[in-house]
Chains A and B, each alone.
Chain A
Amino acid sequence: MIDGLIMIVLILIKLGVIFAVIMTMAAYLVLAERKILARMQLRHGPNRVGPFGMMQPLADVIKLLTKEDFLPDRADKWLFLLAPGMAAVTAILTFAVVPFGPPLQVFGHELPLVVIDLNVGVLYFLGLSSLAVYGVALGGWASNSKYSLLGGIRGLAQLISYELSMGLALVPVVMLARSFSLTDIVLAQQAAPFILVNPLAFLIFLVSVVAESKRTPFDMPEAENELVGGFHTEYSGMRFGLFFVGEYINLVILSSMVTVFFLGGWLGPLLPGVIWFGVKVLALCFFFIWVRGSLPRLRYDQLMHFGWKILLPLALLNVLLTGAVLLWSRT
């Protein structure tokens, strides 16, 4: 009984810490992004609130909370309310299957550093990311504004196109690891991380991930200078905040996925696993910000061409290639 209680308390603490860390990371990623972008453009970035602008995220939250949260006249009421919630919730839920460290020993209990190690973890991730498109599509449609609708439709087409190559890039990973469990996938990389074993799959996955996170150079759904704000043009206050936070949580989660699938997850010499995991995720986040600072936005036709005519055939070819190499190396 007491054992069970300790277990439950441990689980609750673990979840609380995970949630707090994700939220803090998302909040400070916003600041980091603004700071790093500013430096790349020879500016200072936010530096007024607190030392080095460290309190900026807090100020942003207070600002969003006190903004008027209005419902546009012609909007479809309940879909308008539902859409940002869906965006944020699907983003948070994806983290359930991410293993971020080797199991810990606490009070004689084994505490796995993953919310749940599903035996269909990869499919859980893909399923949730296929549901995540509804936030964009419904938000854009329900606002009943031209910019929102255009952003929503563009976003929908972009997300589904790149979801394909993202999913197909994971097939070689599953072939190599012979399991859908993310923990098994990490453990299968003990000899060499999959980025070295199958660099092509890594590249395809990385590009698809940038497209899935709707960031420059793939930020067509919200392109500020043509669509104002795209699918969230009509959103204000915390409902806009949910879209915004969801996007940054998504960035953290997608970085974690790249880490787990290709960079060997928590594996690494000397330092404890959790630290290695954190370092890899942060490095990837920095990479995404760097990409945003360096690359211009693609045109929509270029985006679709790239997704369908280059990434998709390449991903399929890579699956067959990996299969051939695996068969050949066995005999």
Chain B
Amino acid sequence: MLENYLPVLVLIGIAVAFAVGSVVMSGLIGMKKPSAVKLAPYECGMPLVGSARERFSVKFYIIAMLFILFDIEAVFLYPWAVMFKRLGMFGFVEMGVFIAILLVGFIYVWKKGALEWE
């Protein structure tokens, strides 16, 4: 059992060691001359205007919501796909209805203009 999973662990170890190691190395080797102007957020050399914590369009919220819905649909599709042959016609019709119902919602939201970016 150990043999099967050992490689993944070693890979995790290598990956983390690589990420941490290169940042630490960079910190040790790189020069350190911080100044107030250098540490300020980049804004094309102009003095800072306002804060970067701005509110932004609610559109992204709808996109994220739709993403969750379709992601859930996708995870239902995977076990269905792997069993497709055995489930046969019944499974196909079942999933057809499932996708159709979800598509109704998608088309509704689409027609209402949730996917328009002006």
Contact = CB atoms under 8 A, between A and B. Distances in A.
- Asked if the two chains touch in their complex, CB atoms less than 8 Å apart, one says yes
Interface of A: 4, 7-8, 11-12, 14-15, 18-19, 64-74, 81, 84-85, 88-89, 92-93, 95-96, 115-116, 122-123, 130, 143-149, 153, 156-157, 160-161, 163-164, 167-168, 171-172, 174-175, 178-180, 228, 233-234, 237-239, 241-242, 300-301, 304-305, 308-309, 312-313, 316, 319-320, 323-324, 326-327, 330
Contacts of A242: 19, 22-23
Given A88-B15, A147-B42, A178-B85, A12 B74 contact: no
Contact of A11 (B3, B43, B71, B89): B3
Contacts of A12: 10
A70 B27 CA distance: 9
A83 B77 CA distance: 31
B103 A316 contact: yes
A319 B14 contact: no
B77 A168 contact: yes
A320 B116 CA distance: 27
Contacts of B3: 4, 7-8, 11
A160 B14 contact: no
Given A73-B39, A167-B74, A174-B82, 9 more contacts: A65-B30, A84-B19, A93-B11, A96-B8, A160-B64, A168-B77, A180-B82, A301-B116, A304-B117
A147 B46 CA distance: 13
B72 to A, nearest CB: 11
A300 B42 contact: no
Nearest to A73: B39
Contact of A316 (B56, B63, B64, B99): B99
Interface size class of B (residues with CB under 8 A): 35 or more
A146 B89 contact: no
Contacts of A14: 7
A131 B43 CA distance: 29
Contact of B42 (A115, A122, A228): A228
Interface of B: 3-8, 10-12, 14-16, 18-20, 22-23, 25-27, 29-34, 36, 38-44, 52-54, 56, 60, 63-64, 66-67, 70-71, 74, 77-78, 81-82, 84-85, 88-89, 92, 95-96, 99, 103, 106, 110, 115-118
Nearest to B34: A70
28 contacts: A7-B3, A12-B10, A69-B27, A73-B39, A85-B23, A88-B19, A89-B12, A92-B15, A116-B4, A116-B8, A145-B43, A147-B43, A153-B60, A157-B60, A168-B77, A171-B74, A237-B26, A239-B23, A241-B22, A242-B22, A242-B23, A300-B117, A305-B117, A308-B66, A312-B70, A316-B103, A323-B96, A324-B92
Contact of B25 (A74, A130, A238, A300): A238
Contacts of B63: 157, 160-161, 304, 308
Contact of B14 (A15, A69, A85, A153): A15
A65 B25 contact: yes
Contact of B7 (A88, A116, A237): A116
A72 B43 CA distance: 13
A149 to B, nearest CB: 5
A326 B84 contact: yes
A123 B60 CA distance: 26
Contacts of A71: 39
Contacts of A64: 26
B78 A238 contact: no
A228 B117 CA distance: 23
A214 B105 CA distance: 29
B39 A238 contact: no
A11 B6 contact: yes
A238 B64 CA distance: 32
Nearest to A18: B11
A290 B43 CA distance: 32
Given A174-B81, A239-B23, A301-B117, A68 B42 contact: no
